Structure 1
Amino acid sequence: MHAGLFGVFAALCVASLFVGAQQVAWSDVLGLSGDAWLTLTASRLPRLAALVLTGAGLAVCGVILQHIVRNRFVEPATTGGLDAAKLGILVAMTAVPAAGTLSRMLFAMVFCLASSLVFVAIVRRIPFKSAMLVPVIGLMYGGVLSAVAEFYAYRHNILQSMQGWLLGDFSKIVQGHYEIVYLILPIVVLTYLYAHRFTVLGMGEGMAMSLGLNYRATVTLGLVLVAVTVSATTITVGAIPFVGLVVPNLVALYYGDHLGRTLPVVALGGATLLLACDILGRVLIYPFEVPVGLSAGCVGGVLFLMLIVRRQR
């Protein structure tokens, strides 16, 4: 299974380098053609790196949130994290117009972390937490945050520009304008180092504390890792739903819940799914593109419904 998934991932990486409006042939690459090498180094390779890191990061975010909340159907898109990050970026654009990408990311991270803490506090106060109730509450909570963000953008006359960058899209990724997503790499490594603690976290507060785990500190660390990843991806490529939801669930069906074993597969699966969705968006209406936020939403939504039906059965 690992080898098969890695093979699919490698094939999609190669396809991502050679699929697009600008034709790049093997002969041009091997012949060291200037135009082909410029397209690869300035656009296709940065896009591939951003796709892999974003997919892996969002899938890992989903795993962390699912263990914190102890619910299979939560991820940044169903807990209000993505909507809070959008609001943070809008506030940065209006409050500090001269702020750079890093400053806007910090605003998004603070808003995402604050909203995640509020969501966890809300969920902890629900006496009966069914599998479907928690994500429904998260979607309602995210809807409120999204409405606040749109009203804020409307009041500051930036609603139209907001719609342009909120939808996940990798077509604008070029060298020099995406490097902030490299922050995801140490996040994934740190999550792997703390994999055992996050696994224990998923057993519940009482069990985790009885095993000697500092529950609150581990939850806070997990939410910070999620906030950094979500803010970095949102400021770079926009909002991408469902990757952090469907990939961890599919991996858990085959490998279980021990993150020490499954986290590399989750990261690889997230990168593979996002690569597939991006390539699909590039070929559907070639030579134009469907934003990956739409293709990932469609594919992820179908997989999400299949997971719900399977759970009900």
Structure 2
Amino acid sequence: MTRPALVLALLLVPLAGASLLTGVASLSGDGLVFWISRLPRTLAVSLTGAALAVAGVIMQQLARNRFVEPGTVGTGEAAALGLLAVTLAAPGAALWIKMLAATGAGLLGTALFLAMIRRLPRQEVLLVPLAGLVWSGVLGAAVLHIGWQTDLLQLVGIWLMTGEFSGVIAGRYELLWIAGLAAALAIHAADRFAILGLGDDVARGLGLDPGAVMRLGLVVVALVTALVMATVGMVPFLGLVVPNIVSRIMGDNLRASLPVTALGGAALLLLCDVLGRLLIFPYEIPVGSVLGILGAGLFLWLLWRAPRHG
């Protein structure tokens, strides 16, 4: 285990302990609150943070640009369109059908974004995140319009605008384990994504099939985004800030940095969740709001500081 990974693993212990102990309800008695609410919430926050951070790295490798993440390239909005379609066509559909629809729509939306940016000049790196924001805005406008026309704006708000863990209880977060497994698969294939980030020609020269790795990355990004969005809503900035901080410390060795990125995502989201519960106790601030403010500050710091690695 590398030193940054060890530091983050040790940091996760007090953060998880604080998450388990923070709340309005007392843990005394039969421990029902602990098993039904506190433990599932802590696990959900950790899984979400780790999975979104890894998905952010994969998205950056697919787009070959450090200033993108699933939340800024339309993946979440496309997944919301898939969920809306199933909700309108078959309101009583099983949860796994809704997840498949959301994942498929998210995959399609991300694939279209990647196809669009292939036409942009390679030297204009800032055009890629700008194109992602425009694409997200277009898809988001479509989601809001359909939600307004069909009286589903409340659901749309939950999916796209909250990042809320207060409703997580046992039986309502377990799909996030699949997101965690998808992130673990991406970590296992770290070398392939690192080679893909060098370009298609280099990848082919090294005996790698760029199309197969691209499809794997799209599935991981779309699956993680859809599962997180349907469970707790979109969480901003995490997939952008954590990978960039880790890359500035450890460089571009994905085999070594991806586990650290996962631990960093879990630690940052746990910190934001605990802060959200304490700042206006006994009320809560959604973790998405706390992370949005903190993430914006961290992102500006990243733009200002000179990188330690070229």
Task: Give the TM-score category using the shorter length.
Answer: over 0.9
Give the match for residue 24 of structure 2.
21
Give the match for residue 257 of structure 2.
262
- Residues in 1 aligned to 2:134 and 2:84: alpha-carbon distance in whole angstroms: 21
Query: Secondary structure of 1:176's match?
Result: coil
- Between 303-312 and 148-157, report the one with greater CA deviation: 303-312
Query: Secondary structure of 1:168's match?
Result: coil
Give the match for residue 5 of structure 1.
8
Tell me, yes or no, if the aligned pair for 2:60 and 2:66 is still in contact at 8 Å: yes
- Residues in 1 aligned to 2:24 and 2:190: alpha-carbon distance in whole angstroms: 41
Q: Post-superposition, which runs of at least 4 consecutive aligned residues in structure 1 deviate over 3 A? A: none
The answer to whether the aligner puts 1:104 opposite 2:98 as a matched pair is: yes
The answer to whether the aligner puts 1:73 opposite 2:70 as a matched pair is: no
Give the match for residue 195 of structure 1.
190
CA RMSD of aligned residues (A): 1.5
- Give 1:187 shift: 1.0
Pick one of 36, 40, 63 that aligns with 2:34: 40
- Residues in 2 aligned to 1:155 and 1:2: alpha-carbon distance in whole angstroms: 48
- Residues in 1 aligned to 2:206 and 2:14: alpha-carbon distance in whole angstroms: 43
Pick one of 207, 213, 217 that aligns with 2:212: 217
Query: Secondary structure of 1:116's match?
Result: helix
Tell me, yes or no, if the aligned pair for 1:101 and 1:235 is still in contact at 8 Å: no
- Residues in 1 aligned to 2:306 and 2:89: alpha-carbon distance in whole angstroms: 45
Tell me, yes or no, if the aligned pair for 1:178 and 1:236 is still in contact at 8 Å: yes
Give the match for residue 279 of structure 1.
274
Tell me, yes or no, if the aligned pair for 2:120 and 2:127 is still in contact at 8 Å: no
- Residues in 2 aligned to 1:129 and 1:287: alpha-carbon distance in whole angstroms: 50
Instruction: Return 5+ residue gaps in structure 1 as ranges.
Output: none
- Give 1:311 shift: 5.6
TM-score of the two chains, using structure 1 as the length reference? 0.93
Residues 135 and 293 (structure 1), Cα distance of their counterparts in 2 relative to 1, 3 Å cut: same
Pick one of 123, 140, 146 that aligns with 1:146: 140
- Give 1:83 shift: 1.2
Tell me, yes or no, if the aligned pair for 1:79 and 1:138 is still in contact at 8 Å: yes
- Give 1:184 shift: 1.7
- Give 1:131 shift: 2.9
- Residues in 1 aligned to 2:269 and 2:282: alpha-carbon distance in whole angstroms: 20
Pick one of 173, 178, 186 that aligns with 1:178: 173
Instruction: Return 5+ residue gaps in structure 2 as ranges.
Output: none
The answer to whether the aligner puts 1:310 opposite 2:289 as a matched pair is: no
- Residues in 2 aligned to 1:175 and 1:296: alpha-carbon distance in whole angstroms: 24
| Residues paired across the two proteins, number | 304
TM-score of the two chains, using structure 2 as the length reference? 0.94
